[in-house]
Amino acid sequence: MIELKGKKALVTGGSRGIGRAIAEELSQAGCDVAINFLRNKKAAEDVAKNLKKPPLLLKGNVSNEKDVSSMFEVIQKEWGALDIVVSNAASGVLKPPMELTLHHWHWTLDINSWALLALAQKAVPLMKNGGKIIGISSLGSVRAIPNYTLVGASKAALESIVRHLAQELASKKINVNAISAGVVDTDALKHFSNRDQLISNSQQKTPAGRLVEPKDVAKVALFLCSDLSEMIHGQTIIIDGGYSIVA
Ligand SMILES: NC(=O)c1ccc[n+]([C@@H]2O[C@H](COP(=O)([O-])OP(=O)(O)OC[C@H]3O[C@@H](n4cnc5c(N)ncnc54)[C@H](OP(=O)(O)O)[C@@H]3O)[C@@H](O)[C@H]2O)c1
């Protein structure tokens, strides 16, 4: 049983899917949790009902500097400190490479890659006793998946930013790592025109015999948020039931 009693954690996109599972896992371990969301307040309020303590609910776009500043003003006022940041919120334009525009690039990379830097820059001054920063990535960072060009590029950038932040922050006792998940059946998959094929292909090829679930990702996040991961810096931990090792 991992105990994180009294630790303060921010989970972006913590109102649905993988972020929700991470928020619930951290709350279960004793953390005070701040849940960021963008549009769907009802979903955030539903998560709040499941947590051990009422969370801070922080509406804001992680790619908008003003919104990120406002979120941290609340954290500063309510907690005055922060121990854990999980940069989980993501979006992205799903199109073939030849149809992509600069606007699509900014939309996807601002939310999926830049946000990690923006959050880290605000969080580190509040991490007086060390901390944990986690980015949520996907196998698309290193594989070519139809229509996934920009999200894949954004996740590759995220993993690189994780390594650079880790090098910079290790001396402050801050661990920065990424978790890269295989296919997880969340609302995000509804945006894929080949959703059913993605799921069945993944189920068939996964040695562990089932899809990764949000809770599986949350358990890895819990481990990375604990003292057990003290010497893990700048890594991307793959959780995919073995999907990516199969030829
Ligand atoms: N699902 C998969 O197969 C899979 C696989 C590997 C990695 N991942 C990664 O896991 C993470 C979570 O994915 P998911 O599948 O759980 O997604 P999801 O179910 O679609 O949930 C997305 C969450 O992010 C929030 N969000 C979206 N854009 C935002 C923004 N600009 N600012 C703040 N919050 C924003 C949403 O809030 P609202 O509801 O309020 O809009 C929601 O809480 C992402 O980084 C994703 O790339 C997913």
Q: Give catalytic residues, as residue numbers.
A: 148, 155
Q: Which residue of 18, 70, 159 sits with most ligand 1 atoms within 8 Å of its CB, as the best mutation to test the pocket? A: 18
- Pick from 106, 150, 168, 113: which is nearest to 135 by CA? 113
Looking at residue 50, its pLDDT comes to: 87
Residue type, 205: K
Looking at residue 175, its pLDDT comes to: 99
Q: Is the pLDDT at 214 greater than 90, yes or no?
A: yes
Position in ligand 1 atom list of the atom nearest CA 137: 7
Looking at residue 185, its pLDDT comes to: 97
Q: Which two tokens stand for residue 167?
A: 């090098």
Looking at residue 120, its pLDDT comes to: 98
Using pLDDT thresholds of 50, 70 and 90, give the confidence band for residue 238. Answer: very high
Looking at residue 184, its pLDDT comes to: 98
The answer to whether the CB of 149 is under 6 A from ligand 1 is no
Q: For residue 80, report the distance from its CA to the centre of ligand 1, in Å.
A: 27
Looking at residue 79, its pLDDT comes to: 98
Distance of alpha carbon 176 from alpha carbon 166, whole angstroms: 5
Average pLDDT for residues 212-241, to the nearest whole number?
98
Average pLDDT for residues 199-224, to the nearest whole number?
97
**What backbone torsions phi and psi does residue 239 show, to the nearest 5 degrees?**
-125, 100
**Mind listing the pLDDT tens digit for each residue in 61-109?**
999 999 999 999 999 999 999 999 999 999 999 999 999 999 999 999 9
Go through the domains of the chain in sequence order and give each one's CATH number. Answer: 8-239 (3.40.50.720)
Average pLDDT over the chain reads 97
Distance of alpha carbon 46 from alpha carbon 66, whole angstroms: 26
- For residue 182, what are the CA distances in angstroms to 37, 160, 179, 185, 201? 23, 19, 10, 10, 12
Positive or negative: CA dihedral 7, 13, 14, 15:
positive
Percentage of the chain beyond pLDDT 70 is 100
Using pLDDT thresholds of 50, 70 and 90, give the confidence band for residue 127. Answer: very high
Percentage of the chain beyond pLDDT 90 is 98
The answer to whether the CB of 241 is under 6 A from ligand 1 is no
Asked if 175 and 233 count as a contact pair (C-beta separation under 8 A), the reply is yes
Q: For residue 112, report the distance from its CA to the centre of ligand 1, in Å.
A: 9
Q: Which two tokens stand for residue 215?
A: 């809770």
Q: Is the pLDDT at 49 greater than 90, yes or no?
A: yes
pTM for the full model?
Answer: 0.98
Please identify which residue in the block is written with the tokens 């358990």: 219
Distance of alpha carbon 238 from alpha carbon 220, whole angstroms: 9
- For residue 2, what are the CA distances in angstroms to 81, 181, 213, 222, 236? 21, 22, 20, 8, 21
Residue type, 112: N
- Pick from 226, 118, 135, 242: which is nearest to 180 by CA? 135
Using pLDDT thresholds of 50, 70 and 90, give the confidence band for residue 230. Answer: very high
Q: Which long-range contacts (CB under 8 A, 24 or more apart) does 118-123 make?
A: 118/62, 118/65, 118/68, 119/10, 119/12, 119/62, 119/68, 119/85, 119/87, 120/85, 120/165, 120/169, 120/176, 122/68, 122/69, 122/72, 123/10, 123/72, 123/82, 123/85
The closest residue, in CA terms, to atom 39 on ligand 1 is 40
